[in-house]
């Protein structure tokens, strides 16, 4: 990597010239850089807006899951069977699903060999458990913070190889020319970094920027994760399945999924209105407390909001949404008291709940007493984060947790923009449903595949930096003009970020009303056009926020375009309820929740979203690429492998 400092348009700019830039220091980004280096492409660096930021490093769950081919006991499994399960998620490209299955063992064993401590039995088998949408017990875990352990071990590999990591560099533009990625423009918000702008002139970009978490207010992503999907779309990268997110119940302080035992101990759901009046809205709704408690129990293992279950456990999410978003009340889980202040009549619950709680010896006391009995670490987890469930209530909401869609990729995780490789959650390799844990597998596989391709096919130095500035100078100037227009004595970036996130949660979260989405989409168009007039910055920090806000607005606009397009053609599916006046409605709920099920009607197509500076975002469906048969005749595979490693 070569570094020079130049003056461009009167501004000092650090210019780095090298083969490959990896963006992001999550489990995906670190693996991409490490693998590139191991495969011989050593002219690589990592750029991140914060080495300790991102989802992998900072999040987890009850038992954070990693999904891979089954490797223990007599459970029959195969690459083909795993690929079929991934493909069955709907709207998934079959060739990508096959790669994710084929490389799952290689990537998993790499993690084991670098010290991620996945448990084995005394014979050395990696024993698994079954996760959702899984047919073969493929899930494993190192505990609540699996992705953090992965990130830490991969980071050690990168540091051992002395791969440069440029911290506090926020990507603010993906530079492209004639259908090819040419580099990146970064802004350095910290006073330690001078010059404040850096340009990366490179052949390849591995874009491991994670999910575009920053677009929602109600979110269980770590606050440090915002994503950068809008910048890639702006540069011409195609988005796919942008409508598909996972939403579910999570606490807001700290941000954590309240799945599993937190629900199975049957806490009291309570909302508080602006007069301070409490409403025990779940039991109020059902009238029958046994039914209410059975649904709360089910929510424990049916965590994501799923429109197919709105007559069952997902009704709980809708009730929370109504209190929170429609009635403007704060919603809490109270573990100190039983619902309706009386011990449940255990035999009246649905049989599976009664059986489970009896088997666990937990048919007694208050919710927190049951929690301490059944899963004390779950209690301690909150205690360590400053919340004592013995006395504190937990504020919850229906939160965004994962983007199943993202940027479109081929079997080498290259996008339509040549030299640009979205990986990890930034790449939308999943469809409507995905097996739990498959996101972490997809990140490792995508980063390995892109590294293999780059090392084999995209070698060498880029054209000189002067050429990049000539070809992409206008893109840099446009960003600077936008930044300049925001300069003021005061800053309002935080207010704008709060406002646009709240709007997106209200109209484009788990419940989507086309009219309301249209209104917000128009507001965003106005904001994007008049960005410099509306947004005010007065220092380097607020300017960094303004750049993030711009990316958020682009991403929100792309997602809303996709949602509005889908609402015209399809109905509710996955974790998204599209409201329609002629829909069906569970009794006693607001008309907004009336919907029809899409079923598999669109499972065979992928919705693509493209950006054109003149016309904005446009969507269209294309058929999914079919699931290849896989396998092959060894001698034939070996011959072509000797020629080109079958990387073509």
**DSSP secondary structure, 291-335, as one string:** HHHHHHHHHTTS-B--GGGTTTTHHHHHHHHIIIIIS--EEEEES
Binding residues among 250-309 for ligand FAD as defined by CB under 6 A:
257
Find the binder of ligand FAD among 439, 497, 559, 606 (CB under 6 A).
439
Q: Alpha-carbon distance 266 to 586, whole Å? A: 23
Give the helix/strand (H/E) hosting 182.
strand 180-187
Task: Output the smallest distance, CB 221 to ligand FAD, in A.
Answer: 5
- Among 63, 65, 61, 30, smallest CA distance to 48 is for 30
Find the binder of ligand FAD among 20, 41, 48, 271 (CB under 6 A).
48
Sign for the CA dihedral angle at 606, 610, 616, 620 comes to: negative
When asked if residue 227 is in the footprint of ligand FAD (CB under 6 A), the reply is yes
Task: Output the smallest distance, CB 462 to ligand FAD, in A.
Answer: 20
Find the binder of ligand FAD among 17, 19, 41, 56 (CB under 6 A).
56
Q: Report the chain's C-alpha Rg in angstroms.
A: 25
> Phi and psi at residue 183, in whole multiples of 5°?
165, -165
Stretch that binds ligand FAD, among 44-52, 311-319, 507-515, 575-583 (CB under 6 A): 44-52
Give the helix/strand (H/E) hosting 234.
helix 229-234
When asked if residue 28 is in the footprint of ligand FAD (CB under 6 A), the reply is yes
- CA angle in degrees (0–180, nearest 5) for 100-102-106: 95
Q: Give the chain's length.
A: 648
Stretch that binds ligand FAD, among 324-332, 437-445, 538-546, 562-570 (CB under 6 A): 437-445
Stretch that binds ligand FAD, among 221-229, 327-335, 362-370, 482-490 (CB under 6 A): 221-229
- The answer to whether the beta carbons of residues 1 and 22 sit under 8 Å apart is no
Find the binder of ligand FAD among 128, 344, 424, 508 (CB under 6 A).
424
- The answer to whether the beta carbons of residues 316 and 324 sit under 8 Å apart is no
What is the pattern of x (binds ligand FAD, CB under 6 A) and - over residues 157-186?
A: -------------xx---------------
Q: Is 73 left (phi over 0), alpha (psi -120 to 50) or beta?
A: left
Binding residues among 363-402 for ligand FAD as defined by CB under 6 A:
401-402
Find the binder of ligand FAD among 22, 228, 333, 504 (CB under 6 A).
228
Count of residues engaged in binding ligand FAD, rule: CB under 6 A: 43
Task: Output the smallest distance, CB 337 to ligand FAD, in A.
Answer: 27
Find the binder of ligand FAD among 166, 208, 560, 592 (CB under 6 A).
208
Stretch that binds ligand FAD, among 4-12, 203-211, 276-284, 517-525 (CB under 6 A): 203-211
Find the binder of ligand FAD among 93, 100, 134, 425 (CB under 6 A).
425
When asked if residue 35 is in the footprint of ligand FAD (CB under 6 A), the reply is no
> Phi and psi at residue 194, in whole multiples of 5°?
-130, 135
Beta strand pairing call for 44-47 and 394-403: unpaired
Q: How many CB atoms lie within 10 A of CB 224?
A: 16
Find the binder of ligand FAD among 15, 16, 22, 26 (CB under 6 A).
26
What is the rounded end-to-end Cα distance, in angstroms, of the chain? Answer: 27
For tokens 């925001």, what's the residue? Answer: 486
When asked if residue 521 is in the footprint of ligand FAD (CB under 6 A), the reply is no
The residue ranges that bind ligand FAD (CB under 6 A) are 23-29, 47-50, 53-56, 59, 61, 64-65, 147, 170-171, 208-211, 220-221, 225-228, 257, 401-402, 424-425, 436-440, 443
């Amino acid at each position: 990597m070569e570094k020079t400092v130049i003056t461009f348009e009167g501004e000092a700019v650090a210019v780095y010239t090298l083969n490959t830039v990896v963006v992001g220091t999550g489990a995906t980004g670190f693996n991409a850089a490490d693998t590139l280096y191991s495969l011989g492409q050593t002219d690589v660096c990592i750029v991140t807006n914060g080495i300790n930021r991102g989802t992998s490093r900072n999040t987890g769950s009850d038992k954070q899951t990693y999904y891979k081919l089954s490797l223990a006991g007599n459970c029959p499994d195969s690459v083909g069977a795993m690929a079929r399960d991934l493909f069955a998620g709907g709207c998934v490209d079959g060739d990508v699903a096959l790669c994710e299955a084929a490389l799952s063992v290689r990537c998993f064993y790499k993690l084991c060999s670098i010290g991620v401590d996945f448990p084995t039995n005394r014979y050395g088998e990696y024993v698994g458990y079954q996760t959702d949408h899984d047919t073969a017990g493929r899930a494993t875990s190192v505990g609540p913070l699996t992705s953090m352990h992965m990130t830490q071990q991969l980071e050690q590999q990168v540091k051992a190889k002395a791969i440069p990591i440029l911290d506090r560099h926020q990507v603010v533009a993906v530079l492209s020319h004639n259908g090819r990625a040419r580099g990146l423009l970064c802004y350095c918000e910290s006073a330690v970094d001078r010059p404040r702008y850096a340009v990366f002139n490179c052949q390849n970009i591995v874009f491991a920027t994670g999910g575009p978490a920053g677009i929602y207010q109600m979110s269980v992503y770590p606050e440090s994760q915002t994503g950068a999907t809008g910048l890639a779309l702006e540069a011409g990268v195609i988005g796919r399945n942008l409508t598909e997110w996972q939403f579910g119940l999570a606490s807001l302080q700290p941000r954590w999924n309240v799945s599993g035992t937190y629900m199975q101990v049957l806490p009291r759901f309570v909302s508080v209105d602006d007069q301070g009046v409490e409403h025990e809205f779940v039991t109020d709704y059902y009238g029958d407390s046994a039914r209410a408690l059975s649904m709360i129990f089910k929510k424990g293992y049916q965590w994501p909001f799923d429109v197919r279950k709105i007559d069952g456990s997902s009704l709980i999410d809708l009730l929370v949404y109504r209190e929170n978003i429609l009635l403007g009340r704060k919603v809490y889980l109270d573990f100190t008291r039983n619902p309706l202040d009386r011990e449940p009549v255990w035999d009246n619950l649905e049989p599976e709940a009664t059986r489970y709680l009896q088997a666990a010896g937990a048919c007694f006391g208050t919710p927190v007493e049951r929690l301490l009995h059944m899963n004390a670490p779950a209690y301690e987890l909150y205690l360590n984060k400053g919340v004592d469930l013995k006395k504190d209530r937990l504020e919850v909401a229906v939160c965004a947790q994962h983007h199943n869609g993202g940027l479109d990729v081929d079997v080498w995780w290259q996008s339509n923009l040549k030299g640009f490789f979205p990986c990890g959650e930034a790449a939308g390799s999943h469809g409507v449903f995905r097996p739990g844990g498959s996101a972490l597998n997809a990140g490792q596989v995508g980063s390995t595949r892109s590294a293999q391709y780059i090392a084999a096919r995209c070698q060498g130095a880029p054209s000189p930096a002067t050429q990049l500035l000539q070809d992409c100078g206008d893109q840099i100037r446009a960003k600077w003009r936008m930044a300049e227009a925001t300069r003021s004595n005061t800053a309002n970036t935080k207010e704008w970020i709060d406002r646009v996130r709240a709007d997106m949660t209200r109209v484009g979260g788990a419940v989507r009303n086309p009219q309301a989405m249209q209104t917000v989409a128009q507001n965003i168009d106005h904001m994007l056009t008049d960005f410099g007039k509306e947004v005010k910055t007065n220092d380097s920090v607020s300017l960094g926020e303004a750049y993030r806000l711009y990316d958020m607005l682009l991403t929100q606009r792309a997602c809303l375009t996709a949602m509005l397009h889908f609402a015209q053609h399809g109905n509710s599916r996955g974790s998204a309820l599209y409201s329609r006046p002629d829909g069906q409605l569970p009794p006693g709920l607001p008309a907004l929740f009336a919907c029809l099920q899409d079923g598999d009607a669109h499972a065979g197509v992928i919705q693509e979203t493209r950006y054109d500076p003149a016309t904005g975002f446009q969507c269209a469906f294309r058929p999914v690429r079919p699931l290849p048969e896989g396998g092959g005749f060894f001698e034939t595979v070996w011959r072509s492998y000797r020629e080109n490693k079958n990387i073509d």
